[in-house]
């Protein structure tokens, strides 16, 4: 407990950066993931192929490599990005690939009869998607999307590789200054666990509320 008391300001600052990385990357990743999902289910072969290639690349390569390419590789092309924006860009691109598949699974999980009923009433494609399919797809996809958010919060620890001072980097600093690496890492691990437990509780409450709407 003395570590917690001695390094509380550093831990709180690291926690704030961790939460910021996770929340911002999840929001931007959801927006990009929704666009990729729309491309995946479009009637255009070109859009479907591009979206599938995007998902394949970002799901098939390690996130750490993606972060390093953004931070260390892009400067060779004349584009220097500070550590935190670099991490957010990498997390956004990575999470969007997974979220697009979560969203697509939700859309595909909606009964085909919903589309056919809308078509029988001459409802346009985009109106059908917005008013009938997406509300049901969101409910179906919520567990997977929530799980991706929890995973993303843990993935933010990789930002320490590009000098972002989030929780993992704080733990490294505490260990270096006190030589109590085990205690520092366990303390930060506990903080990650508490954050993700709260997220899981919130996800469960959201699922229960959405489930009651369709009961």
Indicate yes or no: pTM above 0.85: yes
Hey, CA dihedral for 153, 67, 89, 60, is it positive or negative? negative
Structural domains present in the chain: 2-213 (1.10.3720.10)
Given a cut of 60, is residue 213 above it in pLDDT?
A: no
- In angstroms, the CA 83 to CA 32 distance is 21
User: What integer is the mean pLDDT of 78-105?
Assistant: 96
Q: Residue 44: what pLDDT? A: 92
Q: In the numeric block, which tokens belong to residue 171? A: 């733990």
Q: Residue 96: what pLDDT? A: 97
User: What integer is the mean pLDDT of 41-61?
Assistant: 95
Q: Would you place residue 197 in the very low, low, confident or very high pLDDT band (cuts 50, 70, 90)?
A: very high
Three-state DSSP class for residue 57: helix
- In angstroms, the CA 163 to CA 81 distance is 13
Given a cut of 60, is residue 214 above it in pLDDT?
A: no
Q: In the numeric block, which tokens belong to residue 73? A: 């590789």
Q: Residue 131: what pLDDT? A: 84
User: What integer is the mean pLDDT of 28-45?
Assistant: 95
148 in Cβ contact with 99 (< 8 Å)? yes
Q: Would you place residue 136 in the very low, low, confident or very high pLDDT band (cuts 50, 70, 90)?
A: confident
- 133 versus 39: the higher-pLDDT residue is 39
Burial grade of 65 (CB within 10 A; 0-12, 13-18, 19 or more): exposed
Q: In the numeric block, which tokens belong to residue 44? A: 């255009």
Residue 7 is classified by DSSP as: T
Q: What angle do CA 172, 175, 177 make, to 5 degrees?
A: 110
């Amino acid at each position: 407990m003395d570590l917690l008391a001695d390094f509380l300001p550093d831990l709180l600052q690291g926690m704030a950066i961790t939460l910021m990385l996770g929340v911002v990357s999840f929001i931007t990743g959801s927006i990009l993931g929704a666009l990729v999902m729309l491309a995946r289910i479009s009637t255009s072969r070109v859009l479907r192929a591009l979206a599938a290639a995007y998902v394949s690349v970002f799901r098939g390569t390690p996130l750490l490599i993606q972060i390093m390419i953004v931070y260390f590789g892009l400067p060779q092309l004349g584009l220097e990005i500070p550590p935190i924006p670099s991490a957010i860009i990498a997390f956004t691109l990575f999470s969007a690939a997974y979220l697009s598949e979560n969203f697509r699974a939700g859309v595909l999980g909606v009964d085909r009869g919903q589309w056919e009923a809308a078509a029988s009433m001459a409802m346009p494609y985009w109106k059908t998607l917005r008013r009938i399919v997406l509300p049901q797809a969101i409910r179906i996809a919520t567990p997977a999307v929530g799980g991706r958010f929890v995973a993303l919060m843990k993935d933010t620890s990789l930002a320490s590789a590009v000098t972002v001072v989030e929780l993992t980097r704080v733990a490294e600093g505490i260990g270096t200054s006190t030589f109590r690496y085990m205690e520092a890492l366990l303390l930060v691990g506990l903080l990650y666990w508490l954050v993700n437990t709260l997220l899981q509780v919130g996800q469960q409450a959201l699922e229960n509320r959405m489930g009651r709407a369709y009961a």
